[in-house]
Structure 1
């Protein structure tokens, strides 16, 4: 099975469903902690590059693509009693992927016109 994207009558993307799903990966974890630690403690988790506080108990952890912090976060949540109630990897919507592909295509066309 393949996915193809057409824009203005031209094929601008063709890949497998697995390839499309890779494009959707955002390298963010959304988590809810009822007894959260400090943001500094969350930032110290291996691979975490930034922490966004969404509410007093909800956080978005941004991480390096090759260092998923899920296992360490789960371990710390249990051992430190952070009361983890939700942990969900964030994904880009299909619309976001489509818009990114179109933007890349337009940027490539602009560069080609300059050259």
Structure 2
């Protein structure tokens, strides 16, 4: 093969590389858009961020939101139990944390 044939072969190889790269430049943004959509869908389907809180912290947050009540106030105790029950229906994680936590965690 003479020098001219080698130069033409190299030019053809470069042309093929250029076509491949150009095709990738066109396809990659579309593929990225599809992947971003997939990631967003998976995030939406995943557990809520509140579920990543340690149970101890969630228990403290919930206990801070509940009113203090002494043993003399039966109506307030009823409201406290009712509020704990309502909060436990927010999610399975909350229900498990609330119902598994002692009433007076100090």
TM-score (norm 1): 0.21
Q: Which has the larger radius of gyration?
A: 2
Quick check: which one's helix share is greater? 2
Higher relative contact order (CA 8 A, sep 6+): 1
TM-score (norm 2): 0.23
